[in-house]
C-alpha cells in the first residue's frame, strides 16, 4: 500500500534516520517503537504527507486517504461536537447539499415533461444512490456511536468544542478520523487522553478496521492488543519484526544478547588491529601491511548497541515510618458543583498496606476525590488521617510546582536521602535525563520533561501513603516499568489514578470505582473489572436502545421454543469446533514464526516454502476468526439459553 524507498531525514545535528526501505501493507497493524528522539513522530508526519524526507521517496496510492492524530492538534472549536463530525466529510457534504437543492428545484418547478426536469430527476436518483453507497443515511448514527464509544455523553453532543478541555478535543479529533474510515490511520499516543473503557473500545474498533494502522504508544497492552507487527527506529535505522510489542521485545533482547557478544569480539579485533598498525606504521618494510590494516579497519561496519540499562534498574520508594493499622478514613464525603453532584455519602476506611486503583471515566470525579483527601478543595464530610501517616501527593499539575530556577540535578538532590543519594544520576536516567540534561534549568524543560522530573522527585520523597493522579502520562514504557517495580516493592499504602491497564495489572489489591455518584469497592483485578464493566455497559446500552429498563427486559423474555433451542445448540457446536480450529492454526502460525526467525534466507527454496506455508496459515487463521465472529453474532441474535 505504502512503500518507503531509501528514506532519510537530515537535521542540522546530523541524520535522524537514513536509508529506510519498508513496505506497509493494507490491513497491517503496526506499532512504531523507539526511544524519545528516535524519530517516531517525524516518521508519521512523513507518511501523512505533512513533511517531506531529505532523501528517498514515499510511494502512496493516488486516492489514499490518511487520518492522522497528532499530539498537537489544531481544532475549530466554534462548532458543536456533533457538527464537527457531521460536516467533516466533504463528499457527503456535497451530496447532502445537492440532494437538498434538487429537491427544492423539483418541488418548485411545474415543467414536468421538459428534458431539463427529467435530467434533474435522473441526477437526483444518481445522487441519492451515491448517498446510500457512502452510508449517508447512517452517518449520524455512526457519529453518535463513535462519540459514545470514546466517552462522550449524549448531552455533550450539542455543546461547543470550546467548552471542552484539550483532552476531550483530542477525543473529538480521533472520533472524526474514525468515523470517516480512511485507508490509513496514523496515531501518535492515542491513549493519552482516554479512560480505561474508551481505550478498550478503541482497541476493538482498530482490530476490526479494514485498513493500515500505525500507532506510537507508551501503552504496552494497547500495542499488544492492536498490533501484529513492530517497527523500531534505533540508531538511525529501522528494524522490522512480524510480532506485537511484547513478542518483539523478547526477540529483540535475544538479538541484543547475540549482538553484545559479537560487539565484544569486534572490539577485541579492532584493538588488536590498532596495536598492529601502531607497531608497523613507522617501519618501511611493514608500511604496506600497516596501510592494508588501516583500510580494513575503515571498511569495518561498527556494531552499535542501544543502551537498555534503564529497564534493568531497581529503584524503591523510601518508607518514612510505619503507620497505624488504618491510614485514612472518609466520613460522608461528597462534592457538588452547582447543580451537578459528582459523588456523595462516601464512607470508607483504608487499612495499612492497601494498594488501591481509583478508576472510572474521565470527568466522573477521580481527581476531585483525591483533592478532597488532600484538603486542597472543600466539600462535604470529613477526612481523617491515621497515626504517623505521611502523605506524598502527585497531582496532574505537579510539574507546575517545580522551582524553575533550579537545575534538574538540584531538584532531586535537595530531597534525596539514604541509599538513593548514591544513584541520583542513574535514577534521573530512568526518567530520560542523562548527560548534560541534568544541568538544565527546570525553566527550559518542556511540559512532559517537567512531569517526569516531578515524578522522579516523588520517588525520592519518604512517605507511607502515596496518592498518585495519572503518574504515567508522560513516561515511556521503560520508565513505567521502573515506576511499577518501585510501587510493587513499596511497603506503604497507595491510591493511584491511571488508565494504563498493563501498568495497573498485578499492582493493586483493591479497585475503587466511582459510579452512580457513589464509590464502589471491588476486590478483583483490573482485567476482570474491565470485563464486567464493559458487559454491564453493553447491557445498559442495549436496554436503552429498546427504551426499557434492564430488569423489565429480562422479565419479559418469552419461553424458548424447541426449534430455537435446537438452533442454539447447533450454533454452539459450530463455535466450539471453530475455536478448536483456531487454536490449532495459532499453534501452526507460532511454529512457522519460530522457523522464520531462524531461517537461512540464502536457501531460496526452503525459505520460499516456509514463507508460503506461513502466509497460508495466517490466511486460514484470519478466515477462521471471521467465521467464528459470524457464529458468535448469530448466537447473540438467538439470545442466551
Output the pLDDT for position 549: 42
Choice among 461-465, 468-472, 544-548 with the minimum mean pLDDT: 544-548
Q: Is 562-638 the same fold as 326-523?
A: no
**pLDDT class of 558 with cuts at 50, 70, 90:** very low
Helix axes 90-108, 115-133, angle to 10 degrees: 150
**pLDDT class of 548 with cuts at 50, 70, 90:** very low
Collapsed DSSP state (helix, strand, coil) of residue 90: helix
Residue 281 or 102, more confident: 102
Collapsed DSSP state (helix, strand, coil) of residue 59: strand
Model confidence at 542: pLDDT above 60: no
**Residue 295's Cα: distance from chain center in Å?**
48
Give the residue-averaged pLDDT of 195-220: 91
Q: Write out pLDDT tens, residues 403-419.
A: 889 998 888 888 876 66
Collapsed DSSP state (helix, strand, coil) of residue 107: helix
Instruction: Answer whether 476's CB lies under 8 Å from 432's CB.
Output: yes
Model confidence at 197: pLDDT above 50: yes
Model confidence at 610: pLDDT above 80: no
Model confidence at 103: pLDDT above 50: yes
Q: Write out pLDDT tens, residues 18-35.
A: 899 999 998 999 999 887
Residue 318 or 528, more confident: 528
Give the residue-averaged pLDDT of 33-47: 88
Give the residue-averaged pLDDT of 429-450: 80
Output the pLDDT for position 641: 47
Output the pLDDT for position 306: 60
Instruction: Answer whether 229's CB lies under 8 Å from 242's CB.
Output: yes
Quickly list H helices, 5-55: 40-48
Give the residue-averaged pLDDT of 603-624: 77
CATH code that applies to domain 562-638: 1.10.287
Dist. CA 493–CA 325, nearest whole Å: 11
Only one residue has cell 419461553, namely: 559
Residue 612 or 239, more confident: 239
Give the residue-averaged pLDDT of 544-548: 48
**pLDDT class of 473 with cuts at 50, 70, 90:** confident
**If you average pLDDT over every residue of the chain, what do you get?**
83
C-alpha cell of residue 182: 480512511
Q: Write out pLDDT tens, residues 475-523.
A: 777 778 888 888 888 889 999 998 888 889 889 988 999 888 888 888 8
Dist. CA 499–CA 171, nearest whole Å: 15
Give the residue-averaged pLDDT of 386-412: 87
Model confidence at 619: pLDDT above 60: yes
Choice among 48-52, 75-79, 152-156, 427-431 with the minimum mean pLDDT: 427-431
Instruction: Answer whether 17's CB lies under 8 Å from 54's CB.
Output: no
Dist. CA 290–CA 294, nearest whole Å: 6
Choice among 85-94, 205-214, 459-468 with the minimum mean pLDDT: 459-468
Report which secondary-structure segment, H or E, holds 620.
helix 604-638
Looking at residue 640, what DSSP letter applies?
A: -
Choice among 179-183, 232-236, 258-262 with the minimum mean pLDDT: 258-262
- Cα angle 270, 275, 280; round to 5: 125
Query: Is domain 326-523 annotated with CATH 3.60.150.10?
Result: no
Dist. CA 368–CA 541, nearest whole Å: 27
The residues that bridge with 518 in the sheet, in sequence order, are 515
Dist. CA 263–CA 261, nearest whole Å: 5
Q: Write out pLDDT tens, residues 561-608.
A: 556 666 767 777 788 788 788 878 878 877 777 776 666 656 767 767
C-alpha cell of residue 450: 517537567
User: Which letter, b or e, does each residue of 533-569 get, where b requires 16 or more Cβ atoms within 10 Å of its Cβ?
Assistant: beeeeeeeeebeeeeeeeeeeeeeeeeeeeeeeeebe
Model confidence at 555: pLDDT above 50: no
Dist. CA 138–CA 84, nearest whole Å: 17
Output the pLDDT for position 552: 38
Residues in the chain: 641
Rg (alpha carbons) of the chain, rounded to whole number: 30
DSSP string, 278-327: HHHTT-GGGHHHHHHHHHHHHH----------GGG----PPB-----SEE
Model confidence at 145: pLDDT above 70: yes
Model confidence at 311: pLDDT above 80: no
**pLDDT class of 617 with cuts at 50, 70, 90:** confident
C-alpha cell of residue 580: 478448536
Give the residue-averaged pLDDT of 526-545: 67
Instruction: Answer whether 183's CB lies under 8 Å from 64's CB.
Output: yes
- Residue whose C-alpha is closest to residue 313's, from 488, 460, 479: 479
Percent of the residues in the chain that have a pLDDT greater than 90, as a whole number: 29
Model confidence at 360: pLDDT above 90: no
Output the pLDDT for position 95: 92
Only one residue has cell 492522522, namely: 68
Dist. CA 114–CA 576, nearest whole Å: 64
Dist. CA 89–CA 575, nearest whole Å: 39
- Residue whose C-alpha is closest to residue 274's, from 306, 242, 296: 296
Give the residue-averaged pLDDT of 334-340: 86
Output the pLDDT for position 553: 36
For residue 411, give Cα distances in angstroms to 439, 455, 456, 473: 10, 11, 9, 20
Dist. CA 409–CA 140, nearest whole Å: 53
Dist. CA 258–CA 74, nearest whole Å: 46
Model confidence at 270: pLDDT above 80: yes
**pLDDT class of 524 with cuts at 50, 70, 90:** confident
Output the pLDDT for position 424: 82
C-alpha cell of residue 184: 490509513
Output the pLDDT for position 38: 84
Choice among 39-43, 196-200, 397-401 with the minimum mean pLDDT: 397-401
Q: How many CB atoms lie within 10 A of CB 157?
A: 17
Instruction: Answer whether 70's CB lies under 8 Å from 42's CB.
Output: no
Model confidence at 554: pLDDT above 50: no
Dist. CA 386–CA 390, nearest whole Å: 9
Number of H helices, E strands in the chain: 20, 18
Domain positions in the chain are: 98-133, 249-308, 326-523, 562-638
Looking at residue 168, what DSSP letter applies?
A: H
Measured in degrees and rounded to the nearest 5, phi and psi for residue 384 equal -120, 135
**pLDDT class of 175 with cuts at 50, 70, 90:** very high
Residue 29 or 277, more confident: 29
Instruction: Answer whether 346's CB lies under 8 Å from 373's CB.
Output: no
Amino acid at each position: 500500500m505504502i512503500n518507503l524507498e531509501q528514506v532519510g531525514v537530515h537535521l542540522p545535528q546530523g541524520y535522524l534516520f537514513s536509508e529506510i526501505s519498508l513496505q506497509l501493507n493494507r490491513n497491517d497493524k503496526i506499532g512504531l517503537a523507539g526511544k524519545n528522539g528516535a524519530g517516531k513522530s517525524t516518521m508519521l508526519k512523513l507518511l501523512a504527507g505533512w513533511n517531506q524526507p531529505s532523501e528517498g521517496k514515499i510511494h502512496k496510492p493516488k486516492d489514499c486517504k490518511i487520518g492522522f492524530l497528532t499530539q498537537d492538534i489544531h481544532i475549530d472549536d466554534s462548532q458543536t461536537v456533533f457538527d464537527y463530525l457531521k460536516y467533516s466529510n466533504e463528499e457527503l457534504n456535497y451530496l447532502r447539499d445537492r440532494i437538498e437543492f434538487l429537491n427544492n428545484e423539483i418541488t418548485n418547478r411545474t415543467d414536468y415533461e421538459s428534458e431539463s426536469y427529467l435530467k434533474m430527476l435522473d441526477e437526483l436518483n444518481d445522487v441519492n444512490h451515491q448517498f446510500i453507497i457512502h452510508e449517508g443515511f447512517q452517518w449520524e448514527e455512526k457519529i453518535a456511536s463513535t462519540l459514545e464509544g470514546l466517552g462522550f455523553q449524549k448531552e455533550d453532543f450539542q455543546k461547543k468544542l470550546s467548552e471542552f478541555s484539550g483532552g476531550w478535543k483530542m477525543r473529538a479529533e480521533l472520533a472524526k478520523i474514525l468515523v470517516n474510515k480512511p485507508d490509513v490511520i496514523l496515531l501518535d499516543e492515542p491513549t493519552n487522553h482516554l479512560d480505561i473503557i474508551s481505550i478498550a473500545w478503541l482497541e476493538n474498533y482498530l482490530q476490526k478496521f479494514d485498513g493500515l494502522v500505525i500507532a506510537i504508544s507508551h501503552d504496552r497492552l494497547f500495542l499488544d492488543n492492536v498490533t501484529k507487527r513492530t517497527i523500531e527506529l534505533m540508531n538511525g535505522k529501522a528494524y522490522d519484526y512480524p510480532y506485537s510489542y511484547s513478542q518483539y521485545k523478547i526477540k529483540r533482547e535475544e538479538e541484543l544478547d547475540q549482538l553484545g557478544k559479537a560487539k565484544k569480539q569486534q572490539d577485541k579485533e579492532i584493538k588488536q588491529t590498532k596495536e598492529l598498525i601502531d607497531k608497523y606504521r613507522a617501519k618501511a618494510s611493514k608500511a604496506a601491511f600497516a596501510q592494508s590494516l588501516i583500510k580494513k579497519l575503515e571498511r569495518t561496519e561498527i556494531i552499535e548497541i542501544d543502551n537498555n540499562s534503564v529497564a534493568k534498574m531497581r529503584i524503591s520508594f523510601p518508607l518514612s515510618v510505619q503507620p497505624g493499622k488504618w491510614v485514612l478514613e472518609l466520613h460522608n464525603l461528597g462534592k457538588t458543583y452547582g447543580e451537578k453532584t459528582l459523588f456523595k455519602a462516601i464512607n470508607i476506611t483504608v487499612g495499612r498496606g492497601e494498594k488501591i486503583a481509583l478508576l472510572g471515566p474521565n470527568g466522573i470525579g477521580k481527581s476531585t476525590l483525591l483533592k478532597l483527601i488532600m484538603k486542597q478543595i472543600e466539600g462535604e464530610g470529613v477526612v481523617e488521617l491515621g497515626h504517623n501517616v505521611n502523605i506524598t501527593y502527585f497531582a496532574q499539575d505537579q510539574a507546575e510546582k517545580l522551582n524553575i530556577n533550579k537545575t534538574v540535578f538540584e531538584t532531586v538532590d535537595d530531597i534525596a536521602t539514604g541509599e538513593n543519594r548514591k544513584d541520583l544520576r542513574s535514577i534521573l536516567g530512568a526518567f530520560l535525563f542523562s548527560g548534560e540534561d541534568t544541568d538544565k534549568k527546570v525553566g527550559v524543560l518542556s511540559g512532559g520533561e517537567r512531569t517526569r522530573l516531578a515524578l522522579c522527585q516523588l520517588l525520592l520523597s519518604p512517605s507511607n501513603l502515596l496518592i498518585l493522579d495519572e503518574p504515567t502520562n508522560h513516561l515511556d514504557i521503560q520508565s513505567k516499568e521502573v515506576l511499577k517495580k518501585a510501587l510493587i516493592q513499596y511497603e506503604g499504602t497507595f491510591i493511584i489514578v491511571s488508565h494504563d491497564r498493563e501498568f495497573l495489572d498485578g499492582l493493586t489489591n483493591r479497585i475503587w470505582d466511582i459510579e452512580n455518584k457513589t464509590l464502589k469497592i471491588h476486590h478483583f483485578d483490573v482485567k476482570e473489572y474491565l470485563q464486567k464493566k464493559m458487559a454491564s455497559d453493553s447491557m445498559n446500552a442495549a436496554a436503552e436502545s429498546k427504551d426499557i429498563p434492564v430488569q423489565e427486559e429480562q422479565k419479559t423474555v418469552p419461553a424458548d421454543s424447541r426449534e430455537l433451542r435446537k438452533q442454539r445448540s447447533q450454533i454452539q457446536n459450530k463455535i466450539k469446533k471453530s475455536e478448536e480450529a483456531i487454536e490449532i492454526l495459532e499453534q501452526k502460525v507460532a511454529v512457522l514464526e519460530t522457523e522464520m526467525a531462524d531461517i537461512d534466507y540464502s536457501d531460496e527454496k526452503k525459505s520460499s516454502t516456509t514463507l508460503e506455508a506461513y502466509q497460508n496459515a495466517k490466511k486460514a487463521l484470519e478466515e477462521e476468526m471471521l467465521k467464528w465472529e459470524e457464529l458468535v453474532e448469530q448466537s447473540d441474535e438467538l439470545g442466551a439459553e
